[in-house]
Amino acid sequence: MAEPFYVRINGSRDVAAVNTGAQDYQGRKQYAAYNVTLAKNDKLTCYDAGSGSAWNIGVIDQYGAYANFTTASDALICNVAGTYNIFIKMKMNDDMWYIEAAGGDTPPVTPQDYDTAVPSECEDVMLQGFYWDSYQDKGYGDTRWTTLTGQATEIASSFSLIWLPPSAESNGGLGYIAKCYSNQNCSLGSESELRALIGALHNKGTRVIADIVINHCGNRSSWCDFNSLNFGTYGSFSPSSSWVTSDDEGNCNTTANKDDGQHEANYGAARDWDHKNTSVQNMCKAYTKWMKNVMLYDGFRYDYCGGYHTSHIDAYNSASKPYFSVMEYWYGDAAHLKSRIDDAGKNTLTFDFALKYNTLRDGIFKKSYTKCLKGGLRGKGYSKYAVTFIDNHDTFARGTDNEDVANKRDGSSVNDKSLMMRCNAYILSMPGVPCVFWPHWIKYKTEIKKMIDARRAAGVHSESTVEESAGSDWYRATVYGKHGNIKLMLGTAAEDAQPSGYTVVVKGTDYAMYYIAWATDVETVGDDKTMLKGQKFMQDGQLLIRVGEEIYDVQGRKVK
């Protein structure tokens, strides 16, 4: 048999099944027909156009929408009318159907191309949908694909983005030593379960961010023995030692380029790809295109970006055109992070490690609130490119004790509610794209939901304007959104009286967060002592009032 293959319906209607480029966890090749509408009692068989022959598969994978179908000797019979994604999974003498529902609350997602991976005035809030070894329950539940699918509605009610851990086949654990990018079966679950999760999140309006590990790669059996990669229509690749940097500790290629990492070169646990190598570049472009257009991820979190020049991220994003991109460049200096963003053509955001270390750890953790002023990349005018966060899978506890050496050194504790509220209130009030860490979400869900709801209602975004002041033991900020304001008080300022017109979002020891909506009609006295009625809005950091087609400042002076 040879491609092309089709799903044949009732012996006469053929729907093309495209090669997904990935094998399932038992080595079956997978061909998919998407968004196929079936009626009750429709009969499905397979058709091989190459040989002109049809055949029946008598086994269906016990996941997805399998309960809506019955296997018979001559066909697979649909018992429940609907729209489905139909997979033909093929292996010698071991073929299998897999079928999932393609509908939901919204139509299936069609991949779009975006001119930049950095949305302007981005109102997204992200959830890091895992923690270390969370394919097991390490104190905050597991985050396997099936578990997250069951929580998709609740997740989507607060988060418009979710970052998933690496989904490629790996050497084990959480997946940060990927060994076959085109095999999407991993410790979190099977490719079928992953597709069901992405579909469930999309149906609820949440975009899904893939963790892309391309600084380094695992091997099959020896230092430079790599798996072949098949990205379907985007290309097949056979990595070899020629793809590895010349200064890699494996010493399997002395003629290649040296590692061009700008901070964390020479990753010791796996072979480092030579990103100056055209074959490596073509593979990465094919991989990101395939992840977006076939696996239906909406964007990428690039792992270990200090290990290769960040200009390559621009090239890979320009090829695949995702909605969103963020790089992990683990460096605590905002000026340095700004330079790496510039090197990437301003075509990606980055995790704001400068904010984590200089504002949160050295400031809020220690109640030294002057460090909250213009924190992190915001102080460099780059809040648009900042993904703000408190902890992640690398910086947080590993195991069940909730306190590892790094956390004790940083002075953080997930069990310190006042500290967790201060930090989460800060990132969820400020410009940038905030990323909430899974254990914080699980432990303080009620409070974090309220903060996100207030941020969303106010229309605070990645480029919002902030008015702020601070002393050694207090911090006050007003953050202007598209529809209202957030007021944040930390330290002794949390004892201030409730601002007039504002409602309480959260309030406790050393923290208070308030919200007010813009009134549709507001009044202000103009220079001629007349009253203006219009709508408040922010523009270039200035509060203005729109009256019909004319614009005034808050003193009533007409703005040209």
Residue 113 lies in a domain: no
Same domain, 434 and 473: no
> What's residue 12's pLDDT?
85
Instruction: State the greatest distance between any 2 C-alpha atoms of the chain, in Å, as a whole number.
Output: 88
Q: How much is the average pLDDT of 143-153?
A: 95
Higher pLDDT, 487 or 251: 487
Calpha distance 349→280 (Å, rounded): 23
Burial 391-418 (b: 16+ CB within 10 A, else e): bbbebbbeeeebeeeebeebebebeeee
Percentage of residues in the chain having pLDDT higher than 70: 89
332, pLDDT greater than 70: yes
Tokens of 237: 């690749």
Residue 419 lies in a domain: yes
Nearest in space to 473 (alpha carbons), one of 453, 486, 489:
489
Residue 108 lies in a domain: no
Calpha distance 78→81 (Å, rounded): 7
Side-chain half-sphere CA neighbours of 510 within 13 A: 19
> What's residue 529's pLDDT?
41
Residue 540 CA to its chain's centroid (Å): 29
Tokens of 133: 């070894």
Residue 107 lies in a domain: no
Mean pLDDT (the chain) is 89
Q: How much is the average pLDDT of 475-488?
A: 93
Same domain, 95 and 149: no
Same domain, 284 and 360: yes
Same domain, 279 and 396: yes
Question: pLDDT tens across 76-134, in order?
Answer: 999 998 888 899 999 888 899 999 887 543 444 578 999 999 999 999 999 999 999 99
Tokens of 220: 């099959």
Percentage of residues in the chain having pLDDT higher than 90: 67
Tokens of 264: 């964390």
Min mean pLDDT across 347-361, 483-497, 517-531, 535-549 is at 517-531
Same domain, 371 and 428: yes
Question: pLDDT tens across 197-246, in order?
Answer: 998 899 888 999 999 999 999 988 777 899 999 998 899 999 999 999 99
Same domain, 233 and 130: yes
Query: Burial level of 57, CB count in 10 A (0-12/13-18/19+)?
Result: middle
Same domain, 487 and 546: no
Same domain, 178 and 225: yes
CATH of the domain at 131: 3.20.20.80
Q: How much is the average pLDDT of 55-64?
A: 89
> What's residue 115's pLDDT?
96
The answer to whether the beta carbons of residues 457 and 127 sit under 8 Å apart is no
Nearest in space to 457 (alpha carbons), one of 545, 517, 503, 417:
517
Count CB atoms within 10 A of the CB of residue 60: 21
Nearest in space to 305 (alpha carbons), one of 284, 279, 290:
284
Torsion of CA 350, 354, 356, 357, to 10 degrees: 150
> What's residue 554's pLDDT?
64
> What's residue 192's pLDDT?
84
Tokens of 33: 């027909």
Same domain, 25 and 173: no
> What's residue 34's pLDDT?
81
Higher pLDDT, 517 or 234: 234
From residue 5, give the alpha-carbon distance in Å to each of 54, 90, 122, 275.
Answer: 10, 11, 42, 36
Calpha distance 3→9 (Å, rounded): 18
Q: Give the number of domains in the chain.
A: 4
Calpha distance 272→249 (Å, rounded): 9
Is the four-CA dihedral 110, 116, 118, 119 of positive or negative sign?
negative
- Containing H/E element for 83? strand 82-90
Same domain, 312 and 349: yes
Same domain, 533 and 491: no
Calpha distance 353→436 (Å, rounded): 14
Confidence class for position 405, pLDDT limits 50, 70, 90: very low
519, pLDDT greater than 80: no
Higher pLDDT, 383 or 527: 383
Sheet containing strand 484-491, strands side by side: 465-471, 474-480, 484-491, 511-517, 503-508
Q: How much is the average pLDDT of 163-180?
A: 94
> What's residue 18's pLDDT?
81
Residue 115 lies in a domain: no
Calpha distance 317→504 (Å, rounded): 41
Calpha distance 265→269 (Å, rounded): 12
Domain span at residue 432? 126-462
Nearest in space to 262 (alpha carbons), one of 357, 324, 339:
339
Same domain, 448 and 500: no
What type of residue sits at position 369?
Y
The pairing of strands 531-539 and 542-547 is antiparallel
Tokens of 475: 């911090």
Spatial neighbors of 381 by CB under 8 A, at least 6 apart, are none
Helix 278-293 vs helix 311-320: crossing angle, to nearest 10: 50
- Report residue 308: phi and psi, to 5°: -150, 155
143, pLDDT greater than 80: yes
547, pLDDT greater than 80: no
Residue 109 lies in a domain: no
